[in-house]
Structure 1
Amino acid sequence: MPKQPATGPDGARPPTRGSGPAGTPAPGPGVPSAGEWAIETRGLTKAYRGGQLAVEGLDLVVPRGSVFGFLGPNGSGKTTTIRMLMGLIDATAGSARVLGQPMPAAGRRVLPKVGALIEGPALYGFLSGRDNLRRFDAADPDADPRTRDARVGHALERVGLGAAAGKKARAYSLGMKQRLGLAAALLRPRELLVLDEPTNGLDPQGMREIRSLVRELAADGTTVFLSSHLLDEIEQVCTHAAVMARGRLITQGTVADLSTTVLGSRGPGRLTVTTPDPADAVRVLKEHGLTGLQITDDRVTGELPEADDGAGPPELADLNAALVHAGVRVRGFGTERATLEDIFVQLTGEGFDVAG
């Protein structure tokens, strides 16, 4: 199996493609040491009875200080991977390091530095939100009881539950329970925050608040490992991402590099024109070298050509002028950038399902 390329200047390995797991970086100049990864796995594998592989040969690296999106459809192995990283289940083969320490062997040293929300929070329904957090905080042997109320109050305010702190948890909505679980993960400063579907059950306003909180945590130096099936959510907050499918790592890298590397073969971009004259627009755009032209109602889309002299695609202003000169009424004009959904479909050949 070929080795994965060494890391780039941003400290993350360039994205890899293929049907099997990505390789690990070979030792040498330019390759970060284990201490520079918040999470590193080598050949991590989980097989259940009957030989069913939930995760196979996973080689994953999460740079410290990144907001890392962990993507995959239902059954891709995301939650199983997270459970192995946190020491909740044993791996069948391979190894995992979290914050530079082997897991699960170093769990007692590592886990106090990690906040986690996995598969939804486990709450005491008969206790209030505030008392749930007090109970969680009391279970932490390193938590100072003298400052407990201050920590609990601060965590509740950060997730927008200050006004509902005295309400019984059994009366919380799904979104409020998610917020309370996130507050529990934030009771103390963490080096790493692991979130499995943190916006599950939240309304659009709640999603925006969680995105803002993730950005705030990252700005403070916390590494955030975020598993989600909401690709646009990942795209708005993540600096790096990995795609899983059928238990295997398909690719990983910075979000920008994934777009460039995976979709680079698509050419310089895709033009979208909104017009009441789509047939005339297609005729003009064909004359200027656009390919793959499609009409959907009043929208015309097509692939921009490479310039013959290698200087890049034609000027958008020139294309717009050509349309207007030909009498095409242009209501909208611009290029579409590749999204994480485009990347996922290109890599896996399938639509995106709910989270696994």
Structure 2
Amino acid sequence: MGEPSTTSVTDATSALDATSATDATSATDATSALEDGAVIHTRALTKRYRGGQLAVDGLDLTVPAGSVFGFLGPNGSGKTTTIRMLMGLIAPTSGAARVLGQPMPRASRTVLPHVGALIEGPALYGFLSGRENLTRYDAADPTADPRTRRSRVEAALERVGLAAAAGKKAKAYSLGMKQRLGLAAALLQPRRLLVLDEPTNGLDPQGMREIRALIRELAAEGTTVFLSSHLLDEIEQVCTHAAVMAQGRLITQGTVSDLAAGTRGRLVVTTPDAAEAARVLKERGVGDVVVTDDGRVTGEAPDGELADLTAALVEMGVRVRGFGVERASLEDAFVALTGEGFDVAG
């Protein structure tokens, strides 16, 4: 029988069976981390691969307890490498990472039973049904009571909308169904922390809405959710906090509202005289002036008095039907911080 090829957190736990979880300073450090309210905390976390490739460079990351934390970055920014270090799948070159107040990867056997994870796609046995896959996952958990295994499996399937397809072989599942099954595996036990790498990958719009609702529900129940996604709109809808990575380094972190608020919004003018309005705005020093397909004129929000711009437009005979500044989105903030668009392959 073939084994699933995708790396899983269970694999990491088994590989670290011989590793001691003893650390002379762990109790003090754990207390300090929990007092700070951090479920994940890294200090100067660095990963350099053979050949000199620097994937993560001096990362200082703090994930508050109870947050839904979005982890953003373009392709190659170091997001997945960071997640793999946090889950003990790979060791850092230098620096330190603590999850639930414990050092990783040293304390993997202590920490991972409290963590649900879906990283780089679910590791599934294609010849087994969805239900059988979850049963095997649950059986591999030394903390799981076998007497209540069936009820846990059925509850997890129901929660991700796979109850009707539970008897179907996993190899016949669509990509979206496999994502759901991987999420169900992460939810077999109550978790203090849920780590999700692109959880809505392959889902249709309805499925994406259901997963977002589930994430909000889990957060309301007290689970901290660490979410990596290339969908900025998704992050903005569901996350309370976010961090932005670029070229292996942390650019910024904070609440989603603060990240967007720190970026200048867009001036928007609605007028039938778009060409003339664009000319006047440029003459008045407004940058990045664009006439949109719907006839609106947009530009960088100016530092000066907006009323002066309105007066200038009217003075030049521009018929102004709407004038204002739209709040910056998380995408605007991302582009401003990284100097590039978001790579969907990230």
The TM-score normalised by the length of structure 2 is 0.83
The residue identity in structure 1 corresponding to 2:53 is Q
- The CA distance in 1 between the partners of 2:80 and 2:270, in whole Å, is 42
Q: Show the counterpart of 1:63.
A: 64
- The CA distance in 2 between the partners of 1:248 and 1:234, in whole Å, is 20
Offset at 1:270? 2.2
- The CA distance in 2 between the partners of 1:205 and 1:142, in whole Å, is 34
- 1:347 equivalent to 2:342? Answer no
- The CA distance in 2 between the partners of 1:141 and 1:253, in whole Å, is 36
SS at match of 1:335: strand
Map residues 123-272 of structure 1 onto 2, 5 A cutoff.
123-261=124-262, 263=263, 266=264, 269-272=265-268
- The CA distance in 2 between the partners of 1:344 and 1:283, in whole Å, is 28
The residue identity in structure 1 corresponding to 2:268 is T
Could you tell me whether the CA contact under 8 Å between 1:228 and 1:355 is conserved in 2? no
- The CA distance in 2 between the partners of 1:107 and 1:286, in whole Å, is 58
- The CA distance in 2 between the partners of 1:286 and 1:50, in whole Å, is 49
- 1:291 equivalent to 2:281? Answer no
Q: Show the counterpart of 1:278.
A: 274
Provide the aligned length of Structure 1 versus Structure 2.
311
Q: Show the counterpart of 1:328.
A: 319
Map residues 96-115 of structure 1 onto 2, 5 A cutoff.
96-115=97-116
Q: Show the counterpart of 2:299.
A: 302
Superposed CA offset, 1:82-105 (max 9, x none): 111111111110110001111111
Offset at 1:307? 5.6
The TM-score normalised by the length of structure 1 is 0.80
Q: Show the counterpart of 2:7.
A: none
SS at match of 1:50: coil
- The CA distance in 2 between the partners of 1:319 and 1:203, in whole Å, is 43
The residue identity in structure 2 corresponding to 1:299 is R
Q: Show the counterpart of 1:34.
A: 33
Q: Show the counterpart of 1:22.
A: none
The residue identity in structure 2 corresponding to 1:277 is D
- The CA distance in 2 between the partners of 1:307 and 1:112, in whole Å, is 55
RMSD (Å), alpha carbons? 2.5
SS at match of 1:183: helix
The residue identity in structure 2 corresponding to 1:294 is V
Deviates more, 1:94-103 or 1:145-154: 145-154
- The CA distance in 1 between the partners of 2:122 and 2:330, in whole Å, is 28
Map residues 85-100 of structure 1 onto 2, 5 A cutoff.
85-100=86-101
Could you tell me whether the CA contact under 8 Å between 1:275 and 1:299 is conserved in 2? yes
Deviates more, 1:115-124 or 1:296-305: 296-305
SS at match of 1:70: strand
- The CA distance in 1 between the partners of 2:261 and 2:335, in whole Å, is 15
- The CA distance in 2 between the partners of 1:133 and 1:88, in whole Å, is 21
- The CA distance in 2 between the partners of 1:83 and 1:94, in whole Å, is 15
Q: Show the counterpart of 2:19.
A: none
SS at match of 2:319: coil
- The CA distance in 2 between the partners of 1:335 and 1:166, in whole Å, is 53
- The CA distance in 2 between the partners of 1:284 and 1:53, in whole Å, is 47
